[in-house]
Amino acid sequence: MHVTTYWLEHAWLGTHVEPGVGVTVADGRITDVRAEQETPPPGATALRGLTLPGLANAHSHAFHRALRAKVQVGSGTFWTWREMMYQVASRLTPDTYHALARAVYAEMALAGITAVGEFHYLHHAPGGTPYDDPNAMGEALIAAAQDAGVRITLLDTAYLSSGISKRRGGKPPEHHQVRFSDGTAHTWADRVTALADRYAEDDDHVRVGAAVHSVRAVPAEQLSTVAEWAEARRAPLHVHLSEQTAENDACLATHGRTPARLLADHGVLGPRTTGVHNTHLTDEDIALLGATRTGTCMCPTTERDLADGIGPARRLQRAGSPLSLGSDSHAVIDILEEARALELDERLRSRTRGHWTAAALLAAATADGHAALGRPDAGRIERGALADLVTITLESVRTAGQVPRLGAETAVFAATSADVRHTVVGGRHLVRDGAHTLIPDVPGALARSIAAVRG
């Protein structure tokens, strides 16, 4: 048994900042937490600054990182942005996807993210033909996360149609979407079962969950197949929900109900399900999500980048929907910024301040985010938890000057990913003094992998 000790100069323990905390780690888990240690004990690794539980990125599309800056040229809508996304997707192979995702996950580690939920729908070769290994693209993502040292919940996504239709099976996939489709939900389930079985014994590092891309992309009569697969495996199930008003309008016109009600009627909602965005909801939708304990993953930097709107996060949480955070399209990769944006966007809408405490926002960024990824044993600095930590400097131009007991407020309302000095995953010191220990040149890896898929 390998035992490691870390000394945390200041530690966020969920309710307060505690100075001088010793943390012992064995086999990837915290075995002891000791306060009132003024100096590092012999042999301990000192993490100077404010240490938080590792951050969770509950919603990622790794290949969207190649769009950063390119999609900022000119104007447009979500739908014009989507056309540029399709172009990048059309150029990816298992090898180029692995290289890009490896660099993106390393960027996440540098930002203090210890676990990612990868919403994965790019399954097949151009033209829709399966690879020799039908899960080659998913395997590339899993290998990329392993190479970068972060945990991954691969949310293998059913994406079967191009839009809502009264015809059985929905509208056929368009040209750029044929790579995403398995044809039917039953074929999707057969493929993802084979992948999940490969990693059934490795759920500390790799978990395979499920996703419904949206009610646009999975016909109503096939939603229950995806939900039943996730329920049988007690796996997390995610779904893009009411991101666009056009989706709501089409669902109402075709099915006579909102997307949230349609999902509920087919067994998709529940405590292991997370709706991503949840932007354009009715009062009844909010009550429904809360009553079923369906989670909400907000992605504020993407939602504002795409001009999607501000979702009713405060009302959802009050109704009973747990909140998590994601970087989605990776306009930036900074979960602290996502947490800050949640509060600041709500201030802009309501013209009042203080909707969440810093502690509540950190819970969304840590424990609740990990729970949404099927890891309820992560996101806390306590005995038995996964030994995932992130340390933020309190001496940068952004964070200097305040007393350490206000560290949570400093982290949420002032710090950025640039202030992350250390990241520990399963007790392994993955980022040390701001440098990735497995991938020394992350900017270079990003530049090379993006150039390989650039049009």
* 326 C-beta neighbours (distance < 10 Å), count: 29
Tell me, yes or no, if 277 is annotated catalytic: yes
SS3 for 133-166, per residue? CCCHHHHHHHHHHHHHCCEEEEEEEECCCCECCC
Q: How far apart are CA 223 and CA 228, in angstroms?
A: 9
Please list the helix, strand and coil fractions of the chain in percent, rounded to the nearest 5, in that order. Answer: 40, 20, 40
User: From the candidates 277, 355, 370, 436, which is the catalytic residue?
Assistant: 277
Q: How far apart are CA 451 and CA 100, in angstroms?
A: 10
Start-to-end C-alpha separation, the chain: 49
Tell me, yes or no, if 132 is annotated catalytic: no
* 16 C-beta neighbours (distance < 10 Å), count: 11
User: From the candidates 308, 328, 334, 345, which is the catalytic residue?
Assistant: 328
Using a 10 angstrom Cβ sphere, with 0-12 exposed, 13-18 middle and 19 or more buried, the burial of residue 159 is buried
The residues near 428 (Cβ < 8 Å, ≥ 6 apart) are 149
Q: How far apart are CA 452 and CA 92, in angstroms?
A: 9
Contact (Cβ atoms closer than 8 angstroms) between residue 379 and residue 371: yes
Catalytic residues: 277, 328
